[in-house]
Chain A
Amino acid sequence: MVIRMNEFMLLKVLDKLQPLFTKMDIDYPVMRQILQLKLTMDTRRVPTIFNDSNNKSGNQFLKSLAVYALMGLMLLLFIFGDNYLMQMSIYYAVVMFILMTSVISDFSSVLLDVRDKMILHTKPVNERTINCAKVLHITFYLVQLTIAFTAISLVVGLVQHGIVFFLLSLLILVFVNLLILIMVAFSYIFILRYFDGEKLKDIINYMQILLSVSMIVGYQLVIRSYNHVEFSTTFSFEWWQLFLPPFWYGAIYQLVLADGPFSSQIILLASLGVIVPIIALLIYIQLIPTFERNLEKLMSNNGQNKRASYWWSRLWEKVVIWNHEEKVVYRFAVSMLKNERDFKLKVYPLVAMSFVFPFIFLLNSVSFQTEGELGASNNYFWFYFSLLSIPTSVLMLKFSENHRAVWIFRASPMTNKKIVERSVLKAYFVRLFLPVYLLVGGAFCYIFSMRIALFLVAVLLATLFWIKISSIVYFQGAFPFSEEYKGSQSLESVKAIILMIGMGLFALIHYLIIFSDMYHTIFIVLLILANIILWRK
């Protein structure tokens, strides 16, 4: 019987090049097998960009390419016009940012796969073959990603600026890819040199979060700033531009496509774009053995780690915690929220959105109003957009990478298991919602003056109210951190939408009674009562 695995186009192309590999002292059939295995595994991995997608069937990677192609549309902003230096610099800044974050978040596992050491290096396969498979694998991924992301803008560029522009772009993208790969590898070498594997995993985790956030927020900003983009500014050379690769490539366009004469600075910038990747590549080849050695750090831990400080949550502990059992679970939950990478990856982007959305909508309104009008308006109601992250965040509290460890709750002599849920919700509130509330609230106080104090009190109460309601909807007696992460099921999405509609109606009612201080006070008193009833249980 033969094991059926996907046949990949890439492998068929490589088959044609077989003699070349054999000449390079590479065991081609073995390398082909390794590569096939890796590519098959890729199709089963869910890329970060699909953070909250639900079905895991089909080729995840191909689907993510479609998303990248869609995101690539934003590059069109920088294609029109002929101030090449400025607009192409921004173009490459965006390209490099997206490619780099996505390489780090989704392909670190390839660069840093320690299982390779256990599984491949124990077999009679030579080192060259394994390394070659690794390099081809990453290159293949990066090329696909680059094509997906830039194809549309390049075609538009072809029509707009002609064939020279197009071919030049292709050439430059090769250099850009090389540069990205080496930059990522260098940063890993650096991090592993000075820190241990756990630190690196943390850094990768934060990169993934950054990617998710920039995906959402960046989109909002790009769409909204569309009208304001102008490239009329003339270029003036500054020394720091020498350190920013996007300028190197902007300069190359300027050099090739614009009319002279050119300043020596532009020639310097352009030549850096070619020379640096080549030098970096040479250094990198020298450093590969060091890299492999440092990789071993990922498997062992050698760190005498410092104790994490929890000053923020300890500060609020005195306010929100009522008894000893609650304190124990609260502290546990705070550590879980701090340490669980999957949770952070899913919830931190939401927290960032809660922080940014009120301001985005506020900015939108600003364009129609003067400063005085804004200060006197009801625009502070955009604050309610912060609350939209609550249902999904609370839902995520149900899951954990270590969901089986929940036996400890059942085996413990706690008298009231309801305390667990309540304390975890409090930890979530203190650690993840309160900072957003204080920052947005503070900013709004500054913009709208203290007249919104009563409103802010009401929002805080509403937050507590909706956190509890969400937990009633989602937990239904289950322990927090007791289930395995799986793509959100449709039922749970429906629940989230219903909760959000509920919040919308709630905000609307609040909006309708805001004119009267008396109604507003009654509203607040009712909220206090509702919270007491809900949270006391």
Chain B
Amino acid sequence: MTKEIVLSLKNVQKTFGGTPVLKSINLDVYGGQIIGYIGPNGAGKSTTVKLMLGLISSFEGEIEIFGENIKESGPAFKKRIGYVPENGEIYDNLTPMEYLSFVGGLYGMEQVTIEKKAKELMRLFELDGVLHTRISAFSKGMKQKLLLIASMIHNPDLLFLDEPLSGLDANSVMIVKEVMDQLASQGKTIFYSSHIMDVVEKISNRIVLLANGKIVADGTFEQLQQQNKEGTLEEIFNQLTGFDKHKEIACSIVSVVENGDTNE
């Protein structure tokens, strides 16, 4: 398989009101990769994704997607991108069919195709009974499934998934993981951010760790293991982000819970 660069960040920087969030990010992503994009809270993961999607338009440096600089190319590159947002923002007073028709339409799909695909995907995700029910009545897992469908309905070549498995039951998690695997082997690229290290460890064929606005590790899980002499991704994560106090903090919490206001 020829290695086509799908996504390329060159010296990308972003500051919010004087505080630097991203300090010089450099990253090349190739077709068929599943990138586990991890980092502590506030490290700038979501910001990176938002920059690449064009949700935030002002930044330093260059981002190229499908070989085009997104500052200059206009919004057409977004046709080949799918996105699952972190907090599942969705117009929940619409029904799934209305929402999917709308999203599909924005990606330029034909109404007949959308409806056919939507019905089929909803059925496969076991949501066929609620095609015309308001999304606000959905459980967290149902909403998450819908967001996944909405991100894939237009057959994108690049997927940005922000905690895509949150709220899903174990069976659905297996389905989604398998779907990602198969999409990647078809040459599609998945950019996956999550806090659940076990999943990232198993699913990704490349892991990128962001801390304090910088990439501090980049490579396959095996490569990271060799570099850091640690067993699991969780431990590598702790080591690289310089966090070693979890035992002490836990001790304090337990002591407060048990002794409460006596405060001994």
Q: Is the CB of B89 within 8 A of A327?
A: no
Q: Is the CB of B90 within 8 A of A301?
A: no
What is the bound-complex CA distance between A196 and B138, given in angstroms? 13
Pick the residue among A303, A306, A308, A413 that contacts B79 (CB under 8 A): A413
Scan B84-122; emit 1 where CB is below 8 A from any A CB, else 0: 010101111111011001110111100000000000000
The A contact surface, by secondary structure, is helix
Extra pairs beyond A198-B136, A324-B108, A413-B76 (16, CB < 8 Å) = A198-B137, A305-B130, A327-B105, A331-B105, A332-B94, A335-B94, A401-B92, A407-B53, A407-B83, A408-B91, A408-B102, A412-B107, A413-B75, A414-B75, A415-B75, A481-B91
Q: Is the CB of B132 within 8 A of A339?
A: no
Q: Is the CB of A402 within 8 A of B98?
A: no
Q: Which 4 A-B pairs have the closest CB atoms?
A: A328-B105, A301-B137, A413-B78, A412-B106
Pick the residue among B85, B97, B107 that contacts A307 (CB under 8 A): B97
Chain B nearest CB, measured from A239 CB (Å): 43
Number of interface residues of B (CB under 8 A): 38
What is the bound-complex CA distance between A339 and B94, given in angstroms? 6
Contacts of B98 in A (CB 8 A): 331-332, 335
Q: Is the CB of B89 within 8 A of A303?
A: no
What is the bound-complex CA distance between A307 and B95, given in angstroms? 9
Contacts of B87 in A (CB 8 A): 404
Chain B nearest CB, measured from A251 CB (Å): 45
Contacts of A325 in B (CB 8 A): 105-106, 108
Number of residue pairs A-B, CB distance < 8 angstroms:
114
Chain B nearest CB, measured from A69 CB (Å): 35
B254 interfacial contact with A, CB 8 Å? no
Chain A nearest CB, measured from B62 CB (Å): 20
Name the residue of chain A whose CB is nearest to the CB of B102.
A332
Segment 54-99 of B: residues with Cβ below 8 Å from A: 54-55, 74-79, 81, 83, 85, 87, 89-95, 97-98
What is the bound-complex CA distance between A410 and B56, given in angstroms? 9
Q: Is the CB of B106 within 8 A of A336?
A: no
Name the residue of chain A whose CB is nearest to the CB of B150.
A408
Q: Is the CB of A411 within 8 A of B81?
A: yes
Contacts of A308 in B (CB 8 A): 95, 132
Q: Is the CB of B91 within 8 A of A402?
A: yes
Name the residue of chain A whose CB is nearest to the CB of B151.
A411
B241 interfacial contact with A, CB 8 Å? no
A371 interfacial contact with B, CB 8 Å? no
Name the residue of chain A whose CB is nearest to the CB of B160.
A411
Pick the residue among B78, B83, B97, B129 that contacts A304 (CB under 8 A): B129
What is the bound-complex CA distance between A327 and B110, given in angstroms? 11
Q: Is the CB of B91 within 8 A of A412?
A: no
